[in-house]
Structure 1
Amino acid sequence: MSRPHILVTGGAGYIGSHAVLALLDAGYPVIVLDNLITGFDWAVDPRATLIVGDIADSGMVAEVLHAHDIQAIMHFAGSILVAESVADPLKYYRNNTAASASLVETALKAGIRHLLFSSTAATYGQPPVSPIPETAPTVPINPYGRSKLMTEQMLADAARAHPLNHCALRYFNVAGADPHGRSGQSSAVATHLIKIAAEAAIGLRDQIAVFGSDYPTADGTCVRDYIHVSDLASAHLHALERLMAVPDENLVLNCGYGRGFSVLEVLDAVDRVTGRAIPRVMADRRPGDPPELVADNRAILSTLPWRPAHDDLEAIIADAIAWETRLAARRAGRAAA
């Protein structure tokens, strides 16, 4: 029996491109819709069909849904930088919330019944407990988190009023790259610790800044739950299949491993993987950084048949460094051309 066609918005980006790989490897026909503002056409596996366009263009989206007989949507498209959201909040409400509203409305008109949404642990803000369960208060502290939470709430309201079921996956710290080297984090501006460390590992940075050493944690640095991007992509596949199998169910699930590592523990692991010490510079705290963000992942483990396959910090780092090496070679080749 043929599998249903899946539309992946933002499928030329970091997490979206890995979800595309997971879908394709499982035998699903995949259509990618991406405006390529932050994504890359070469990041889309050639087995998928890439359409360049904006999810807010309802007429174009309607044509895509009809022409490709789309049965479900994985929605990754949007803006993701916390600092930028503070500086330009309206961009985030436009790209994340308003554009998502347009997509959902168009999908409903086309008869789409299943939508999987790329959300974030930023919806929790600075939670009072750790590990953080899905029942923790959602009090985001920046426009990025608020724009994502508003989309979650919109989907819940739409599901109550229409024949739509949805799942919002709240990511913690995503890192690493496809172990087969097919995709990875390719953004020009690195904001995540392991991406920055991978750049330092291949000589693109002289040192790594540690923002804050006086937090109430074991070594004074922030603790985060790092999930391998391929495990996250697998979670998306299982969540989508759950939506299609149980059409009257809506889900909100954390995506993490349920344990955290401090900044210094991550950098120590980078030193072990590379076999050398990368210089560290202690810096002041960044505003809004919670001391600890670790997922309570019991809900996803009990709801889906998902089990992590890459739950090893050094393996995550090694995959990130391997991808950074490939990416540097690609950029060097394009510059030479």
Structure 2
Amino acid sequence: MSERDNKPVLVTGGCGFIGCNLADRLAERGDRVLLLDNLARDGVRENAQWLKSRHGDRVTITVADIREPIPVIDAVREARAVLHLAAQVAVTDSVTDPVADFEINARGTLNVLEALRLHNSTAPVIFASTNKVYGRLIDDGEIALTGRRYAPTGNGLAGGISENAALDFYSPYGCSKGTADQYVHDYARVFGLQTVVMRMSCIYGPRQFGTEDQGWIAYFLLSAIRGNPLTIYGDGHQVRDALHVSDAVSAWLAALDHIALTRGRVFNLGGGPANAISLLELIDGITDLTGRKMTYRFADWRPGDQPWYVSDTRALSTTLGWAPQIFLADGLRSLHSWLDGRFGSSQDNREALA
């Protein structure tokens, strides 16, 4: 093994939902992993403990913030690759505090890129972008209600939104992530860095501590488990494609392992048309899965809400041979099982007996 191969893979935001699943897979296959996380979000300390209990010294955790250049430089300098997921992830928080949102998502990403450019320019970097860079995409006149979901009226979107769609940042979150997205892409063109941008859509799965603002599939399932009512912003017919985190991790690692094919590229990463679902359809599915009828009320649409978004992932499939392996119905059962074990009555019973 060469000296470079023995260096760790750096995962920023590595104790978050996607980050810890990536770190787990990397460690399982024998990679050393360095996580950089400020441990500020709910659930991340638990994810950190889970990773250490499974992998011991193969996983190292540095508690730091990507807004601080020095610890970012120190971490990047010793990495053989960087998987950059550290971010402010909620549209609502970006509206409440646009400056903090920008500092974390845009400036923090620039810190990572500059550390790579100046101190480790041959290390690949894969960036977690978002479908929000495309903005609202479709006007009300371009969608029609079909059953319990919206569908585009034109024939050109049957396969989903491709990477060729025009960028139209909407909401401070869209602006900050879009800025970072374009910086990552341009650092490949201008400075020759080995960068990949993943524009992700609705990743879900175990280790996700869903909230009303982020991780909506897990949040809906948690609400059913706890018997809590939901607030649906909009009319519930809005559609998203969902991708199980196991499939997302496979795509990220395939992009890393085949960096000669993916460098300088931008890819959409989601479940595609076969895994698209509306909010109301998800509620129906959760009712069938749990046997618990959910209660909900409606509220106004929020800034940047898309009435319809489905990823066209054919570029990723053509380049890497990747395709989702876990379909939504099976993924929901998997996530429900994990959430119920962690937060449901079985967990309450175990804690009561402890």
Task: Tell me if both proteins adopt one fold, taking TM over 0.5 as the criterion.
Answer: yes
Residue aligned with 1:70, SS:
coil
> Are 1:209 and 2:231 matched, yes or no?
yes
Structure 2 unaligned segments of length 5 or more: list them: 139-155
Structure 1, unaligned runs of 5 or more: 178-183, 214-219
Q: Which residue of 280, 283, 287 corresponds with 1:267?
A: 283
- Helix, strand or coil at the partner of 2:93: helix
- Three-state SS of the structure 2 residue aligned to 1:254 is strand
Q: Distance in 2 between matches of 1:54 and 1:239?
A: 26
Which SS does the other structure have where 1:271 is aligned? helix
1:211–1:50 CA distance, 2 compared to 1 (3 A):
same
Q: What do residues 226-278 of structure 1 show as CA deviations (whole Å, max 9, x unaligned)?
A: 111221111111111122x448x311000112212111211111112112322
Query: Paired residue for 1:156?
Result: 185
In 1, the alpha carbon distance for the partners of 2:278 and 2:22 equals: 27
The aligned counterpart of 1:26 is 29
Please give the alpha-carbon distance, in whole angstroms, between the structure 2 residues aligned to 1:297 and 1:79.
25
Query: Following TM superposition, by how much is the alpha carbon of 1:13 offset from its aligned partner in structure 2, in angstroms?
Result: 0.6
Q: Which residue of 2 aligns with 1:193?
A: 216
Greater helix share, structure number: 2
CA deviations on 1:95-140 (whole Å, 9 max, x unpaired) are 1111111121112222242110000000000124742110001001
**Which one of the candidate residues 278, 289, 307 is aligned to 2:294?**
278
State how far apart, in whole Å, the 2-side matches of 1:141 and 1:121 are.
Answer: 11
**Residue 169 in structure 1 maps to residue 169 in structure 2:** no
Match runs of 1:21-100 below 5 Å: 21-38=24-41, 40-44=44-48, 45-46=51-52, 47=55, 48-66=59-77, 69-100=78-109
| Counterpart amino acid of residue 258 in structure 2 | R
C-alpha change, 1:190 and 1:318, in structure 2 (3 Å) is farther
Question: 2-side partners of 1:263 and 1:239: how far apart?
Answer: 31
Separation in 2 of the partners of 1:57 and 1:193?
30
Q: Distance in 2 between matches of 1:82 and 1:286?
A: 9
Within 2, Cα distance between the matches of 1:276 and 1:63? Answer: 50
Question: Cα distance 1:335–1:153, how it changes in 2: closer, same or farther (>3 A)?
Answer: farther
Matches of 1:174 and 1:92, distance apart in 2: 21
Aligned mates of 2:201, 2:244 — CA distance in 1: 10
**2:80 is paired with a residue of what secondary structure?**
strand
**Whole-Å separation in 2 of the counterparts to 1:55 and 1:287:** 26
Counterpart amino acid of residue 230 in structure 2: I
* Alignment partners' CA distance in 2, 1:282 and 1:147: 28
Residues in 2 aligned to 1:288 and 1:158: alpha-carbon distance in whole angstroms: 27
1:167–1:251 CA contact under 8 A, matched in 2: yes
Residues 8 and 41 of structure 1, relative CA distance in 2, 3 Å threshold: same
Pairing 1:115–2:130 present: no
> For 1:118-170, what per-residue CA distance to the aligned partner results, in whole angstroms no more than 9, with x for missing partners?
00000000124742110001001111111111112212222223231111100
Q: Supply the distance in 2 between the matched residues of 1:12 and 1:275 (Cα, whole angstroms).
A: 33
1:209 to partner: Cα distance = 3.0
Indicate the larger mover: 120-129 or 81-90: 120-129
Work out which of the residue numbers 16, 21, 43 in structure 2 matches 1:13.
16
Rate the CA distance shift 1:189–1:50 in 2: closer, same or farther, 3 A: farther
Partner of 1:217: none
Cα RMSD for the two superposed structures: 2.6
Question: How big is each residue's C-alpha offset from its partner over 1:174-215, in whole Å with a ceiling of 9 and x where there is no partner?
Answer: 2222xxxxxx1125665443222211221251x2333333xx
Cα displacement (A) at 1:63: 2.7
Deviation (angstroms), 1:16? 1.0
Partners of 1:137 and 1:158 lie apart in 2 by: 20
Which position in structure 2 is the counterpart of 1:296?
A: 312
On the 8 A contact 2:188/2:194 being kept in 1, the answer is yes
Q: From the superposition, tell whether residues 255 and 202 of structure 1 become closer, same or farther in structure 2 (CA, over 3 Å).
A: same
> How many corresponding residue pairs?
319
Q: Flag the 1:88–1:335 CA change in 2: closer, same or farther, 3 A.
A: farther
Alignment correspondent of 2:152: none
Counterpart contact for 1:121–1:172, Cα < 8 Å: yes
User: How much has 1:334 moved relative to structure 2?
Assistant: 8.7
Matched, 1:236 2:252: yes
Aligned AA (1:281): R
The letter for the 2-side match of 1:64 is A
Segment of structure 1 superposing worse, 143-152 or 75-84: 143-152
Mapped contact 1:201–1:321 kept (Cα < 8 A) = no
In structure 2, the residue corresponding to 1:154 is in which secondary structure? helix
2:332 is aligned, of 314, 317, 322, to: 317
In 2, are the aligned partners of 1:273 and 1:314 still within 8 Å (CA)?
Answer: no
Aligned residue in 1 for 2:242: 226
Give the equivalent residue in structure 2 for 1:250: 264
Q: How high is the TM-score relative to the length of structure 1?
A: 0.86
